[in-house]
Amino acid sequence: MDTRRLILFFIFSFSLVMLWDSWQKLQVKLNPPAVSATVPSAPGSAPGAAPGSPTGVPQPAAPAAAPAVPGAPTVPSAPGTAGAAAPAGATAVVKTDLMTAEITSAGGDLRYLSLSQHKDSLDKDKDFVLLGTHSYTAQTGLVLPGNVGLATHENKFELTPGTYELKPGENEVKVRLESTSGAVKVAKIYTFRRGSYAIDVNYEIVNGGAAAITPSVYLQMQRDDKAPAGETKFMQTYTGAAFYTEKDKFHKRDFSDIEKKKDMPISNGDNGWVAMVQHYFTTAWLPQGNLQRQFYTAKLPGTDLYTAGVMLQVGSIAPGATGAFAAKLYAGPEEVETMEKLAPGLERVKDYGWLTIIAQPMYELLRFLHGYLGNWGLAIIALTVIIKAIFFPLSAASYKSMARMKKVTPKMMAIREKYGSDRMKMNQAMMELYKTEKINPLGGCFPILIQIPVFISLYWVLLATVEMRHAPFYGWIHDLAAQDPYYILPMLMAVSMFLQTKMNPTPPDPIQAKMMTIMPIVFSIFFFFFPAGLVLYWVVNNVLSIAQQWSITRVIEGKTDKPPKDKPAAEKKK
């Protein structure tokens, strides 16, 4: 196989991998799946929703006398007012050192949350809003068997409105909401802590009736399917639900899968969590303890809203007794060192796909370098140099092969002209030439093939690292996670690729030669839309490659072109 064709194949394959995710998202938008007009009831319960049942949540498991079918799919109850505007209510505003949150008495939901340490994607003078846009809310509620609402996200709670601010010297601030349903009193307590993106959500359930109750609690996120601000067609990341259990590990479930009602990717059990993931940020419900749980997703009919959640059985609460339930809501940036301390596998929401085994240590090295250098741009440069040093022997072998190929290019052109359209004889002559000159036609391709997974891994690391968001470099680069505002780096990359092309052997085929000439322009167009941090890596990598290739080519050409030394005087006399 022609070496140049292999090189072209590998380069275009790499670009296709980077654009694959964007293509998939585009297909979903162009070919939306059909939406079912009806939603069946959950197993073990009567058809339809009972009076007072919440919308968009599954019915709880049936009582012990009629247990739900093991492994049966979880399906939300048929809502009557799905997607309706939430009723107005009193609001508690919570301010900590990391966030500002708003909790409403209408449902007791967390309906707004902004992060003071992270700025808006489009306006850096504003705090980044995680909850409150895209109809994005964190909801919880209590239901009884038969889907009877006890204290759901559609019920009215009582709270003291006002501002709850974390004062100097304080480590936590609490917001308490209360609701009464018949003889049952429910208290829902939010606890915000200094220096933490994890919010404690606790229930106190007082059974003042004459019979035992067996409530279930649901924890869910609700949002639309729109990508967050700042996404481009050339740089789209995953937005959707994610689940984790010790048995099934980490699984994503995008909105198209939810709409098609595909089988859940994980099984129910006594552990695990549910999250809603977007670029750089995540909200995740982390139930505490080992209560049995049932995971679910649903699309609210007639809307563009989706829910992802988990339902847990609180257990039987005797008359006059008090039951309790505890969970954590993580709502913040995808910082690995923070998330891995909260729940097993939570750091996996920062997903590198099938290349995690390479990307994860690469991220750790990048973070280590940043700790010493204090600048993410310098850390990228240092990481590029390290990777280049590791692959130096492979790159050297590739460049040596290319240098040898470049030297025999005139002979290859002569063979092509001699045999013309007789490809069989031309290939035979080419193979003889390779054998005579001791050239491996695949020598320049195999090292490139080995390095491709590393390049792709680094691409995802730089794309997913939230610490790089709004991180400045020097000069005109004020945000390594955003496009170069003046496109200087993409132009430098195009120049560096052009120089590399000129240093490579010219393909005998005129069409291939033109493709190699056009390729720097094509790649630069792609990189005009990529984050500056990614382009910085490629520019530095290209500069190092040019230096290495130039030195190797110079040595090989020098060995061949160097005239033979004069014979010693003693030999001349003989």
Nearest to 342 by CA among 294, 409, 256, 282: 282
Nearest to 521 by CA among 566, 548, 490: 490
Q: What is the pLDDT of residues 427-466, one digit of tens each?
A: 788 788 777 776 666 655 666 677 788 888 888 888 889 9
Of 42-46, 130-134, 229-233, 308-312, which gets the smallest average pLDDT?
A: 42-46
* Residue with tokens 């003078």, as numbered in its chain: 125
User: pLDDT band at 570, cuts 50/70/90?
Assistant: low
Q: Tell me the DSSP string of 108-131.
A: S-EEEEEEEEEE-SS-TTSEEEEE
Q: Are 275 and 349 in contact (CB under 8 A)?
A: yes
pLDDT of residue 6: 43
Q: Are 48 and 41 in contact (CB under 8 A)?
A: yes
Select the more confidently predicted residue: 420 or 342.
342
pLDDT of residue 55: 63
Q: How many C-beta neighbours within 10 Å does residue 195 have? A: 10
Q: What is the pLDDT of residues 464-479, one digit of tens each?
A: 899 989 999 999 999 9
State how far the Cα of 385 lies from the Cα of 543, in Å rounded to an integer: 10
> Quick check: helix, strand or coil at residue 340?
coil
pLDDT of residue 3: 42
Please state, rounded to an integer, the average pLDDT across all residues of the chain. 79
pLDDT average, residue stretch 56-80: 39
Which sign, positive or negative, has the C-alpha torsion 417, 419, 422, 425? negative
Cβ-proximal residues to 127 (8 Å cutoff; 6+ apart), any chain = 100, 114, 115, 116, 118, 119, 120
State how far the Cα of 240 lies from the Cα of 25, in Å rounded to an integer: 12
pLDDT of residue 232: 63
State how far the Cα of 101 lies from the Cα of 111, in Å rounded to an integer: 8
Structure-token pair, residue 487: 């496109």
pLDDT of residue 328: 97
Q: Where are the domains of the chain?
A: 3-19+360-561, 32-63+91-351
Q: What is the pLDDT of residues 95-119, one digit of tens each?
A: 999 999 999 999 999 999 999 999 9
Give percent of the chain above pLDDT 70: 75
State how far the Cα of 376 lies from the Cα of 477, in Å rounded to an integer: 12
For domain 32-63+91-351, give the fold: Beta-galactosidase; Chain A, domain 5 (2.70.98)
Residues making up the chain, counted from first to last: 574
pTM value > 0.75 = yes
Q: What is the pLDDT of residues 153-194, one digit of tens each?
A: 989 999 999 999 999 999 999 999 999 999 999 999 999 999
The whole-angstrom distance between residue 558's C-alpha and the CA centroid of its chain comes to 49
